[in-house]
A and B are shown apart, each in its own frame.
Chain A
Amino acid sequence: MTFAADTELIENFLNGDINSFNRLVHRWQNRLYSFAYRYVMNEQDAKEIVQSALIKAYKNLNRLKEPEKFSSWIFQITVNLCKDHLKRNSKNRYAELTDDILTNGNSSNLNNAVISDSDPVSNINQLDLSSIIKRSLAQLSEEQRVVIIMKEYEGFKFSEIAEMLNVPLSTVKSRMYYGITQMQKILKKLNIDEEVVFNEM
């Protein structure tokens, strides 16, 4: 199978070739899943969101005016579904996730809740660093978190993120700045420093 650009596949699909749409699906589904998973922090929900996003794309692809912007478009659909999902499920697993580290919503207890010993390295090794990062990110505001995910894990440019989230560029950058500063504070409290990260690597 030769490589075809997204735009080519879109054109073929709109001319009736379902196989082209499936190639788009195969190309994007895992990346969309990773994004949705990091956003809603639940495997099953992420899968359903990606499925809904792709069905939406299937139904509405003929309305996409600039096919070269397919990636922004499909991510935008996914972002909106994630947003709706979290809004609908205010008492969802994601909320529980944050609750269990924020005892009574007080972040100063974070240290005690996650780590009880004073030696950071040995403790972190027992814990899963991956889940610590996950839990820390869960404490950020949704607005900050989505920008961080799009930048850190998806590698979008700030201008692309601004377009997808439909907010000014300066807003995206300030959310990124304050979000990452917030992450620094959280990780510092947990004594996650370079040593730990290198140790894990």
Chain B
Amino acid sequence: MKCEKTKEYIIDFFYDEIPEEERINFESHLKECKKCREELAELKKTSKAMKMWKIPEPNMNLEFTSERGTFFDKIKDLAGLFSTFIKKPAYVFTVSLMAVFLVLSFSNFKASYNPDTGSFSISTSIFGSSSDPVNEGVINQQLEIIQQKLLERLNLILTDYDNFNRDRTERIVMNAMNELQIQRERDFATFGSSLVSLQETTGEKFDNTLAFVLGLMEQSGAIEIKK
């Protein structure tokens, strides 16, 4: 075995990953070659020295509490997640936007969003003036548009903050949005049909749907409404 050849194997040999037959060759080469023995000794020394790098105690104690549960649970989890990450005023604004989004995700709505002024105008109805059944396709389209604009807006809001935090918040919002939309599609049917039956039994029309939804959310403990 030539010295050049051993370069390939010296690392494998040292870290005990050399194939058995090569080991035998390599060991016999080592007996003859002082240069390679020295190199191996250097390797050992360096490796040993590197082991002296002590690092601070991790002291990590992460705990995931969010259960894959109901939609309300999810909202609570999200609120919790945000409260740990979001300390700055701009983030609070983001959370408010998120809250509006959450409400919207419950109901049939017409919403417009102006990214220049940052203002939402919403008209919602679960059983609004139209007696048509909920058009899921349209809603999803609207959701996507709002989601997109919200993210764009978010980008603008967060430009002033450092990149790491911005990226992290974006990721969180993005994930939250995706999850919510999936969950929303499932929950919507249940929610809508229970309202229909409620309406049928009580004969009551829920004209002020937004307030109704908010009330429901408050009762469930998902949100707190300041009066």
Contacts and interface: CB of A to CB of B under 8 A. Distances in A.
Contacts of B7: 177
Interface in A149-201: 151-153, 157-158, 173, 176-177, 180, 183-184, 187, 192-194, 196-197, 200-201
Nearest to B47: A152
Interface residues of A, number: 50
A55 B11 CA distance: 36
A58 interface: yes
B55 A38 contact: yes
A175 B27 CA distance: 24
A158 B47 contact: no
Interface stretch (B57-65, B152-160, B212-220): B57-65
B225 interface: no
A193 to B, nearest CB: 7
Interface residues of B, number: 39
Contacts of B58: 29-30, 33-34, 37
A133 B168 contact: no
Contacts of A83: none
B189 to A, nearest CB: 21
A184 B66 contact: no
Contacts of A133: 49-50, 52-53
Contacts of A95: none
B43 A25 contact: no
Nearest to A194: B45
Interface string A114-146: 000000000000000110011001000000000
Interface string B1-43: 0000001101110010100000000000000000000000011
A196 B67 CA distance: 52
B52 to A, nearest CB: 5
B52 A129 contact: yes
B67 A18 contact: yes
A51 B164 CA distance: 13
A148 interface: yes
A196 B50 CA distance: 12
A130 B163 contact: no
A75 interface: no
Contact of A183 (B11, B46, B171, B172): B46
B188 to A, nearest CB: 22
Contacts of A82: none
Interface of B: 7-8, 10-12, 15, 17, 42-43, 45-56, 58, 60-68, 163-164, 167-168, 171-172, 175, 179
30 contacts: A18-B64, A22-B64, A29-B58, A30-B58, A30-B60, A37-B56, A38-B55, A47-B60, A52-B171, A54-B62, A54-B64, A85-B164, A89-B164, A130-B53, A130-B54, A133-B49, A133-B52, A133-B53, A137-B53, A148-B50, A153-B50, A176-B11, A177-B11, A180-B11, A187-B49, A193-B45, A194-B45, A197-B48, A197-B52, A201-B52
Can you list the 9 inter-chain pairs with the closest CB atoms, starting with the nearest? A133-B53, A33-B58, A29-B60, A30-B58, A130-B54, A88-B163, A184-B46, A129-B52, A18-B67
Interface of A: 16, 18, 21-22, 25, 29-30, 33-34, 37-38, 43, 47-48, 50-52, 54-55, 58-59, 84-85, 88-89, 129-130, 133-134, 137, 148, 151-153, 157-158, 173, 176-177, 180, 183-184, 187, 192-194, 196-197, 200-201
